Amino acid sequence: MSPVRRRTLLGSALAAPLLATTPFAGGCGSADDDAVTFFFQARPEEARVRMRIIDEFRKIRPDIRIQVIQSGPDPLQQMLTYCAGGKCPDIMMAWELLYAGLAERGVLLDLRTMLDRDPEYAAALRADSYPVLYDTFTYAGGQYALPEQWSGVFLYYNRRLFAEAGLTPPARWSEAWSFAEFLDAAQALTRRDAGRTRQWGFADAWVPYFSAACFGMNNGVDWFTPTVDPARTNMADPRFAAGFQFYADLAVRHRVAPKVADQQSVSAPDLFRRGRAAMAMGGHWLYSEFAGQDGLDIDLTVLPVGPHGGPGAITDVGSTGLSIAADSPRIEQAWEFVKFATGPVGQAIIAASGLFVPVLRSAMGSTGFAEAHREVRNLAVLTEGPAHSRPLPITPAWGKVSALLERGGNRILRGAATAAALDPSDIDAVLEVK
């Protein structure tokens, strides 16, 4: 996912960013009524990867035609509008934060109905999958999507700036640095001249209150319990609050990162690209923006762990998957494509593209994936990332919950309140009546 799309989508259950028009865009009302319609959101270069998967699928199943429909600014509302009008796409891209609402509305097919008919395939898929990604799309006992790509967050760092400061960050999730070590590094990498910050130690290219939540989870407690269909939030847990506060203090107290208020005018990716930030927090969607840039020697490292966290660091799942419409008249054909795209061949194409991180162990360990990331020495940050992921809250009430989270979290991130004052009662009330 692109940085704009990932940031916007996480902020609202009904929001997703604008998508550039590509030659592959189509509409639901096509005269090709026998084709399987495939609804997804992608940047132009990402759309071309999906078209390569479709082209490979056509070679083995020329009898199944795939018609592409690309999302507009609001994918969830667009899907609901299509389905309400009786023209629901056969195959739909599924976002981990949005699919539960569609599943509860009966829009999505429970894929167990297909998996149970093919136990040998189901067992092979499970064996090659990362359980946390696969289970992210399991809601209320049903399997409503198969994972297609991983997009958890980590840290990009500038190797030259780290070398000049005499610093070497950890290379694996299992060997994470502490909050104190991370702060020391960020302070050593921050440069000021006459009160003006010339170089930031850290910049956040993700959604600030989600990033803060990842720091909270890395201090030993999940954000929600359980993470799928949660009953309550753990924001008031002192461990979570301390991790959240540590993140806020990077900007508010220690001044090693731009303040949240400044992020409307200061682009974290631009700061990192121009060597004005030594570290940038984000996901794989930024890789194509940073790789191959003249004068930018990049590598990857992991999030820090608080005194109550560990062993090892964790990140968010950040996965998308593929679903099938429950009322599709072409379920069998759609299932064949979903199996292909989320299986070894489709995942190998994703791995070699350099634009996505695959969700199968076999594709993650492939030569194609390594070659697509030749600039990265610490490749384990990507290949081991899914195993160190935790799902973000999966609930059909996500729209209301996210609005409350953003409102409360941003007060802390601006320095207007402390994390110790977090009150989860309004969020828990929403979860009780979802």
Inter-axis angle of helices 238-252 and 398-413, to 10 degrees?
A: 50
Q: Which of 427, 383, 40 minimizes the C-alpha distance to 209? A: 427
In this predicted structure, the answer to whether residue 20 has a pLDDT above a threshold of 80 is no
**pTM of the model as a whole:** 0.91
Window from 9-23, 66-80, 115-129, 144-158 with minimum mean pLDDT? 9-23
Where in the sequence of the chain do the CATH 3.40.190.10 domains occur? Answer: 3-151+317-390, 153-316+397-432
- State what percent of residues in the chain have pLDDT above 90: 81
CB 161 within 8 A of CB 275: yes
- The number of helices, as runs of H, and strands, as runs of E, in the chain is 20, 17
Phi, psi (5° rounding) for residue 358? Answer: -70, 170
In this predicted structure, the answer to whether residue 30 has a pLDDT above a threshold of 70 is no
In this predicted structure, the answer to whether residue 268 has a pLDDT above a threshold of 60 is yes
Burial 394-408 (b: 16+ CB within 10 A, else e): bbbbbbbbbebbbeb
Q: What class has domain 3-151+317-390?
A: alpha beta
Write down the pLDDT at residue 26.
36
272: left (phi over 0), alpha (psi -120 to 50) or beta: alpha
CB 102 within 8 A of CB 79: yes
Write down the pLDDT at residue 302.
98
Query: Which stretches does DSSP call E strand in 19-78?
Result: 36-40, 66-70
Reported as a pLDDT band with limits 50, 70 and 90, residue 424 is: very high
Phi, psi (5° rounding) for residue 273? Answer: -60, -35
- At 201-249, the pLDDT tens digits run 999 999 999 999 999 999 999 999 998 899 999 999 999 999 999 999 9
3-state secondary structure of 331: helix
Q: Report the pLDDT averaged over residues 411-426.
A: 93
Q: Report the pLDDT averaged over residues 71-84.
A: 83
Residues 123 and 232: their CA atoms lie apart, in Å, by: 33
| DSSP bridge partners of 146 | 322
In this predicted structure, the answer to whether residue 18 has a pLDDT above a threshold of 50 is no
In this predicted structure, the answer to whether residue 78 has a pLDDT above a threshold of 90 is no
Residues 174 and 383: their CA atoms lie apart, in Å, by: 12
Residues 338 and 148: their CA atoms lie apart, in Å, by: 9
Phi, psi (5° rounding) for residue 93? Answer: -65, 135
Reported as a pLDDT band with limits 50, 70 and 90, residue 120 is: very high
Residues 127 and 341: their CA atoms lie apart, in Å, by: 17
Reported as a pLDDT band with limits 50, 70 and 90, residue 261 is: confident
Write down the pLDDT at residue 24.
34
Fold of the 153-316+397-432 domain? D-Maltodextrin-Binding Protein; domain 2 (3.40.190)
Residues 284 and 150: their CA atoms lie apart, in Å, by: 8
Residues 341 and 53: their CA atoms lie apart, in Å, by: 7
* C-beta neighbour count of 97 within 10 angstroms: 25
| DSSP bridge partners of 139 | 142
Burial class (CB in 10 A: 0-12, 13-18, 19+), 295: exposed
Write down the pLDDT at residue 32.
58
Window from 73-87, 286-300, 366-380 with minimum mean pLDDT? 73-87
Residues 358 and 345: their CA atoms lie apart, in Å, by: 11
Reported as a pLDDT band with limits 50, 70 and 90, residue 434 is: low
- State what percent of residues in the chain have pLDDT above 70: 92
First to last CA, the chain: 28
DSSP 233-248: E-TTSHHHHHHHHHHH
| DSSP bridge partners of 112 | none
Burial 180-191 (b: 16+ CB within 10 A, else e): eebbebbebbbe
